Amino acid sequence: MPRQAAVPRCPGCEEPLEPGDRYCGACGYDLSAVPAPPPDHPTLALNGSVPAPAGGVAWPPAREPEDPQRSAAAHTPADLPGTDSGGSPPPAPPPPPRAPAPAPGQSSGVRLDRPREPEEYPLQAPDPRRTPAPAAPQAPAPAPAAPPAAGDRVCVACRAGRVDHDGYCENCGHAQPRERDHMEQEYGPVAAVSDRGLRHHRNEDAFCVGDTTLPDGAPAALAVVCDGVSSATRPDDASLAASRAAADALLAALPRGVHPQQALHDAILAASHAVNALAEEPATAREQAPHQNAPACTLVAAVVAAGLLVVGWVGDSRVYWVPDDRAAPPARLTEDDSWAAQMVAAGLMTEAEAYADERAHAITGWLGADAYELEPHTAAFKPDRPGVLVVCTDGLWNYAESPGEMARVLPRDAAARPLHAARVLVGHALDGGGHDNVTVAVVPFPGPPARAGSA
Amino acid sequence: MANFSKPNVPRFSVDVYQNEYLPEDGSDVDAIVTVTATGGGTLGGALTALRHHAPGEGPSAAVVLMVDCSGSMDHPPAKMRNARDATAAAVAALRDGVRFAVVAGTHVAREVYPGGGRLALAGAGTREEARQALRRLDAGGGTAIGTWLRLADRLLSAADVAIRHAVLLTDGRNEHEPAAELTAALDACAGRFTCDARGVGTDWEVKEVTAIASALLGSADIVADPSGLTADFTRMMETAMGKEVADVALRLWTPAGATVRFVKQVAPSVEELTGRRTESGPRAGDYPLGSWGDESRDYHVRVRVPPAGLGREMLAARVSLVIPGADGGVRGLGTPGLVRAVWTDDLAASTAINPQVAHYTGQAELAQAIRQGLELRRTGDIDGATAKLGRAVQLAGALGNADTAKLLAKVVDVVDAAAGTVRLKAAVGEADEMTLETRSTRTVRVKK
């Protein structure tokens, strides 16, 4: 079962507290009057904010591969020849992804390999019913700490009015904190934190973390992070559906021995189907606006299994690699589907020029029914040393864009305390202004199996 | 007032159209609230049309018809004859079982039928008796509308019914009582019954007739040609017979520190409601909406809220429909609509104007431009009148008010409708001008 991270909350405003706080950092509530919060990982319920039951229980039966041309062979990553990185691509599908040693010390060795991908990914006739519908995140959450019963709660904004049944204060009208405003989860070796930020009225990011085992018993850890596209309708639903569908697909495929890179590719397609299906659902009455457009989100995912490190993405959410040995250079493992990245790739602008442009963050790839052509990018790496993957939305990397900056912000004990590390990174984004929703997953990479424990 | 035992109260739905996004320092929240009542007329599943209730099956109702019998009604003589015929047609359109009375209005009010301070029960016999009584109506005397309304109120209040409605027909100015008398009578009658008002000919005062309909939550119109009265009265009575529930109020909750800038009906016509608020609880007030059948109306609500900071969300207003009971309790009708405020630094979001809000803001400006333009024209300010009526032509064209555009074209020569360039016509028929003024508040809905 997932271990829920326990966060003591301010009794006044429900803001998460740090151990040792004497006053709430958000509202100034005097905490000396309440019992000191437990120091670490207590088992308090966390405002009902666990995003998804990420694994550990009965998963849906394994799905057949969606693309008949890319049948998923059952083999374990450990079977792959890890040393033929310079060799020619394997001839027949499914291409066993070459997994060359990325030698993270080399500055340019980021994009090492990708499996040969078909020209396009047919997405016809997706069956939206096959993907689990996202449970309503607004389902009444177990109330935090020891609040009065629902309908009898005191407003966190004015502390004078009661919260009405529609979630607003009957006195000052302020909306009450919602469960997705701040979510934390720790699962196996992986942890993730998501926060609404300081400028947006809701959290449109979502994540799923989990771990499972390969057929040979080797552990596999995974994290999926999605960022809803704000200009689309129901971006929060899109990110939730995509992250759950991708995680479900991975947790079903990996134990069957599907190669992680293939599994991740399929998982992105599954996520795409889940988001497309949202466009077919009738909108709620409140959002029956004349300017509807299809729900959409980005997706980035990372899988760590048997010495292999696989990332996959659509959009501008990223994965950073930070070796435990901080003398070794960190790296960014993903290439944004964004206007700025395209400009740089085409040689039309320098990186500085491109990212200074107001169009820099316009994304050119996303999951959604209105996406032109889905291009799931995946890449596999075989690092020669242990480290940590930072899987994040632009709400974080806007405040730590370069791998070096990201490495400086990431605590040195990130592999041992991933939840703490994720909190620190989210805190960094909030301290920087919190202009967007912030979501961070921290996935430790234990190092090559042969030399596990070394470094 | 309302008879709650009747099972046929319509279902009300509330839809809110707004752009909830405000800039960091934004505080005014605009919303169009569409209220739709459905299902009131489907009694027993077999009867569908509202106006075809079987005897005793419709909501209990009482109607008083007030006919102007002042001396001027004899000029031309056809006017009195048409008024008699129209009133008879209205009586004929009454559903069986409805209570009714006919009042002749001069400088005093006189019961024509059935008399004795009573109401008659509509049926074949009483309709014929009323028709005979109407034949004896003749013109002579002055005009004191306040006395007519007070008599109608006395007659209607004696009946224990769900719907109380009146129809008032006049052809002249209210010149035999002080203006304050009419105002006082309207204040006394407001909320006790609804009233449609009609001006026949062109010697009446538009402001008086529209004020009566406005205060008593009914419709106002001109019947310039007396021969059109019968058709108009029949239509009006059919509408009245379609009403299922009376004394509906719009309840507006707003948060502490908020101010209601205005509440107005914007469809089917512009009607200011802001000043008619009665407090109904903490931070809540009720605005009277009158009687409802199967129909839909739109309201424009503007609330000023204290800015709460970027990323915050606030409920700016909760809109519900209620029927205040006689015992102080209320009965809620349907699910409330929520008007929200969300502060964002996304300029594209906060500067967008909701199409419905934009449309009805234009409709309200159109009505105002017509009234101001006609007023300026009367006072001889040709330039001012030309500018206002030109703006009205421009708005009517852009917003799709085809009927209003036609009426405007009878008062001005349109040079360029899109640019709002017009010339005042040298000679304008009095009926055309009064028609335009009376109907200036009629609106069209957003093309969906």
Domain range summary for chain A, segments of one domain joined by +: 1-40, 48-66+100-138+179-283+292-451, 142-177
Query: Mean pLDDT in chain B?
Result: 88
Domain ranges of chain B: 11-41+246-347, 54-241, 355-438
Residue B282: list chain A partners with CB under 8 A.
170
Please indicate whether residue A134 or residue B15 has the higher confidence score (pLDDT): B15
Chain A partners within 8 Å of B315 (Cβ) = 166, 168-169, 173-175
Separation between Cα atoms, residue B253 and residue B237, nearest integer Å: 35
User: Kind and range of the H or E element at A420?
Assistant: helix A418-431
| CB within 8 Å: B312 and A168 | no
What percent of chain A has pLDDT above 90?
Answer: 42
User: How does residue A167 score in pLDDT terms, banded at 50, 70 and 90?
Assistant: confident
Query: In sequence order, what are the residues at sequence separation of 6 or more whose Cβ sits closer than 8 angstroms to the Cβ of residue A362?
Result: A338, A339
| Residue of B29, B312, B313 best to disrupt the A interface, most CBs of A under 10 A | B313
Mean pLDDT in residue range B391-398: 95
Backbone angles phi, psi at B336, to 5 degrees: -65, 155
Q: Does B138 score more than 50 pLDDT?
A: yes
Q: Is A76 left (phi over 0), alpha (psi -120 to 50) or beta?
A: beta
Rounded Cα distance, B308 and B255, in Å: 12
pLDDT tens for B405-433 read 999 999 999 999 999 999 999 888 889 99
- For B54-241, CATH number out of 3.30.540.10, 3.40.1350.10, 3.40.50.410, 3.40.462.20 equals 3.40.50.410
| Predicted pLDDT at A371 | 82
Please, how many CA atoms are within 13 Å of residue A277, restricted to the half-sphere of its CB? 22
More confident of the two residues B372 and A80: B372
**Tens of pLDDT along B254-305?**
999 999 999 999 989 999 999 999 998 889 999 999 999 889 999 999 999 9
Confidence of residue A60 (pLDDT cuts 50, 70, 90): very low
Mean pLDDT, to the nearest integer, of B377-392?
94
Mean pLDDT on A62-87: 40
For A331-374, the DSSP string reads: EE-----BHHHHHHHTTSS-HHHHHHSTTTT-BS--EETT-SS-
Please answer yes or no on whether B311 and A172 come within 8 Å at the CB atom. Answer: no
DSSP A5: P
pLDDT for position A423: 95
pLDDT score for A3: 41
Q: Evaluate the CA torsion angle A131, A135, A136, A138 in order and state its sign.
A: negative
How much is the pLDDT for A188? 87
More confidently predicted of A13 and B41: A13
pLDDT at A30: 59
pLDDT tens sequence across A382-428 = 999 999 999 999 999 999 999 999 999 999 999 999 999 999 999 99
Residue of B nearest to A165 (CA): B336
More confident site: A409 or A280: A409
The chain-wide mean pLDDT, for chain A, equals 74
CA angle A339–A344–A345, rounded 5-degree value: 95
Instruction: Check residue A77 and give its pLDDT.
Output: 39
Q: CB of A272 within 8 A of CB of A373? A: no
What's the rounded Cα separation, in Å, for the pair B370 and A140? 52
Sheet-wide strand order for B330-343: B21-22, B330-343, B313-324, B245-253, B284-292, B278-281
A-B Cβ pairs (cutoff 8 Å, strict): 66
User: Residue A419: which H helix or E strand, with range?
Assistant: helix A418-431
Instruction: Provide CATH code, domain B355-438.
Output: 1.20.120.1690
Q: A289-335 pLDDT, tens per residue?
A: 445 688 999 999 999 998 899 999 999 999 999 999 999 999 999 99
Using pLDDT thresholds of 50, 70 and 90, give the confidence band for residue A25. low
**Per-residue confidence (pLDDT) for residue A106, from 0 to 100:** 39
Residue A181 has pLDDT above 50, yes or no: yes
CA of A88 vs chain B CAs: smallest distance (Å)? 49
pTM: 0.70
Question: Identity (one letter) of the amino acid at A163?
Answer: V
Indicate the class that CATH gives domain B11-41+246-347.
mainly beta
Q: Distance, in angstroms, between B24 CA and closest chain A CA?
A: 10
Residue A332 is predicted with a pLDDT of 95
In the predicted model, is pLDDT for residue A272 greater than 90?
yes
Max mean pLDDT range (A230-234, A337-341, B186-190) = B186-190
Region A53-66: mean pLDDT is 40
Mode of pairing for the β-strands spanning A387-392 and A438-445? antiparallel
Lowest-confidence region among A38-47, A386-395, B8-17, B328-337? A38-47
- Element spanning B149, H or E: helix B145-157
Comparing C-alpha atoms, which of A52, A34, A38, A53 is closest to residue A7?
A: A38
A158 reaches B (C-beta below 8 A): yes
What average pLDDT does the segment A117-131 reach? 36
pLDDT digits (tens, 9 = 90+) for B236-253: 999 999 888 888 999 999
Closest partner residue to A166 (CB to CB) among B282, B338, B344 is: B338
Summarize the confidence of residues A243-247 as an average pLDDT: 96
Q: What is the least distance, in Å, from the CA of B304 to any CA of chain A?
A: 13
**Burial tier of A117 (Cβ tally within 10 Å: 0-12, 13-18, 19+):** middle
Rounded to the nearest 10 degrees, the angle between the axes of helix B430-438 and helix B206-215 is 20
* pLDDT at residue A372 in the model: 76
> Measured between CB atoms, which of B282, B311, B315 is closest to A199?
B311
pLDDT tier at B9, thresholds 50, 70, 90: low
pLDDT band at A27 (very low <50, low <70, confident <90, very high): low
| Distance between A424 CA and the closest CA of chain B, angstroms | 22
- Structure token pair of residue A424: 């620190």
Question: May I ask the CATH architecture of the domain A48-66+100-138+179-283+292-451?
Answer: 4-Layer Sandwich (3.60)
* Top-confidence residue, A72 or A378: A378
Say if CB B416 and CB B378 are below 8 A apart: no
User: ipTM of the assembly?
Assistant: 0.72
Looking at residue B26, its pLDDT comes to: 92
Dihedral sign of CA atoms B131, B132, B135, B139 in order: negative
A138 at the B interface (CB within 8 A)? Answer: no
Task: Give the per-residue pLDDT at B226.
Answer: 82
Q: Say if residue B192's pLDDT is above 90.
A: yes
Could you give the angle at which helices B430-438 and B355-378 cross, rounded to 10 degrees?
150
Parallel, antiparallel, or unpaired: how do β-strands B163-170 and B61-68 relate? parallel
Q: Which residues pair with B331 in a beta bridge?
A: B323
Confidence band for B383, pLDDT divided at 50, 70 and 90? very high
Q: Does A283 touch chain B (CB under 8 A)?
A: no
* Interface test mutation site (partner B, options A168, A180, A182, A436, max chain B beta carbons within 10 A): A168
Site of tokens 């109260």: B9
Return the pLDDT at A68: 42
Q: Which residues of A touch B308 (CB under 8 A)?
A: 157, 174
Instruction: For residue A16, name the pLDDT band (cuts at 50, 70, 90).
Output: low
Q: Dihedral of CA A415/A417/A421/A422: which sign?
A: positive
A447 vs A452: CA distance, rounded Å: 6
CA A61/CA A56 separation, integer angstroms: 14
Note the pLDDT of residue B224: 85
Contact between A169 and B255 using a beta-carbon 8 Å cutoff: yes
User: Three-class SS of residue A389?
Assistant: strand
Q: Which of A166, A200, A290 is the closest to B311 by Cβ?
A: A200
pLDDT at B447: 63
Beta bridge partners of A367: A297
Going by pLDDT thresholds of 50, 70 and 90, the confidence category of residue B364 is very high
Residue A152 has pLDDT above 80, yes or no: no
